[in-house]
Amino acid sequence: MQGKLIVLSVLLLHFKLTALATTDSSVVSKSKSWYVPDGMSLEYAGGFGLASAGVLYNGKGKSELGISAGYVPNQYGNIWTFNMLFSYDILPVRLNKYCELHLLKAGGFINFNKGKNIYLIWPENYPRDYYWWNSSMRFGPFIDTELKIKPSKRQLSYTLFFQCLTNDLYLYTYFPNTRFIKFSDIIYFGAGIKIHAGSAASLRR
């Protein structure tokens, strides 16, 4: 049921972006409310659920804000995630009029996890300060490598991305134990696609 809700939400958002893409970009920029997203994202893994989907907002300059929800199926824990990612584009390279390679986008994320035995505040049956962290909230740095494609003159662009990240708990565990834990042990990966509409889809001139 949860998976069907995510798929339905993605389809509805895609239809909305397609409608915006068929509208003149100058009209869209004047009429678009601040809460209307500039795009959408779909991601596999990355610490945000087995799959996650969300919306994208273009900030000033080369920044981007992503807000998403993810889900881990029942056989792996039955966990919902709610995520926020902010990134800045450091090394964009225009390959041709249809493609851009974004070698390095760096940023930070925060995510909340909701599921059985996952707590934002530990229950009273745990001794005070027995755990210094909460099991619900994680935050940390991430980097992306992206390939952005805008076919012909369409007002939609498609971005394939590969993501590398870690979190606060992994970093806290790693540094006092570098003799026993490899850096690769605290890194995890995600991959997905982003779709932008209207002026947000245009490649840099």
Whichever domain contains 126, its CATH number is 2.40.160
| pTM, rounded to two decimals | 0.83
Is 205 part of any domain?
A: no
Is 129 part of any domain?
A: yes
Integer Cα distance of 141 and 143 in angstroms = 7
Identify the pLDDT of residue 19: 52
Count CB atoms within 10 A of the CB of residue 195: 22
Identify the pLDDT of residue 14: 54
Is 16 part of any domain?
A: yes
Instruction: Report helix, strand or coil for 44.
Output: strand
Using alpha carbons, select from 14, 17, 12 the residue that is nearest to residue 200: 17
Domain range for residue 180?
Answer: 2-26+36-199
pLDDT tens digits, one per residue of 151-181 = 876 678 999 999 999 999 999 999 999 999 9
Identify the pLDDT of residue 27: 47
Pairing type for strands 63-72 and 99-114 reads unpaired
Is 58 part of any domain?
A: yes
How many domains is the chain built from? 1
Residue ranges for the chain with pLDDT beneath 50: 2, 8, 15, 20-21, 25, 27-28, 205
Identify the pLDDT of residue 198: 65
pLDDT tens digits, one per residue of 53-67 = 999 999 887 999 999
Is 204 part of any domain?
A: no
Is 31 part of any domain?
A: no
